[in-house]
Amino acid sequence: MKKAIVIGASSGLGKEVAKLLIDDAWRLGIAARRIERLEEIKVLAPDRVELQAIDVTSDDAPQALEELIEKIGGIDLFFYASGVGSQNMELEPGIELNTVATNGMGFTRMIGAAYRYMANHGGGHIAAISSIAGTKGLGAAPSYSATKAFQNTYIQSLEQQARMRGLNISFTDLRPGFVATALLGDDPKYPMLLKPKKVAEEMVRAIEHRRHVWVIDWRWRIVTALWRRIPRCLWRNLKVK
């Protein structure tokens, strides 16, 4: 039986991906800060799902991750969906620093823990949700955009390091466009808003096909390709939200 850990499974895309993996007969370890929110997923397959309270900003999170891996008897896939983000035009320091703590330090803490475990136990697959926001610096959400760019580069770096070390670890960097989750809601000001279930389905397909980087969906692949070609002197004068 294939075994997966899903971090950030209590809501949004993490929850949707966990449900899809259950439907595909995976054995799961699911984690979030509030363990009671995970019960809704466990009831779908009580004999195949284990729970763990994990706060990615806590120093003891890697130990909690190892406990969860032991509960399910190993790991083939580590799926990381935890993160925060919001627009911050006033550059309120609490928002900026909390975003960096979660999306930067928390991400590094947990991806690093999974990588080290796999390096010592025969390998595996690490998949993480980053964002199209890492493509260019977005003035409406500075720390969110910056931490997503950090995540993109960190995954790329680990992928190269794994090859340098001869480790059997593969990576998938998942970059969705705007998704109608609690992070954004159904606010119509966001263009081309994506449905969580459809995004989760495309993410699972990308993992199955061992994609290295996958932007979701096809419209956002076109948009981000255009963004990359905009010179800095023009980009800084655009109003992108």
Residue 240 maps to a domain: no
Residue 184 has pLDDT above 70, yes or no: no
Domain extent, residue 215, equals 3-235
Residue 241 maps to a domain: no
Quote the mean pLDDT of the chain. Answer: 94
Residue 67 maps to a domain: yes
Write down the pTM of the prediction. 0.94
Structure confidence at residue 64 as a pLDDT band (50, 70, 90): very high
Q: What is the structure's pLDDT at 86?
A: 86
The DSSP result for 160-221, as a single string, is HHHHHHT--EEEEEEEE--B-STTTTT-TTSTTPBPHHHHHHHHHHHHHTT-SEEEESHHHH
Number of domains in the chain: 1
Residue 188 maps to a domain: yes
The CATH number of the domain where 186 resides is what? 3.40.50.720
Q: DSSP label at 2?
A: -
Closest Cα partner for 82 from 150, 183, 185?
183
Residue 49 maps to a domain: yes
Question: pLDDT by residue (tens digit) across 196-240?
Answer: 999 999 999 999 999 999 999 999 999 999 999 999 999 999 987
- Indicate left, alpha or beta for 74 from its phi (over 0: left) and psi (-120 to 50: alpha): left
- In contact, 227 and 175? CB cutoff 8 Å: no
Residue 214 maps to a domain: yes
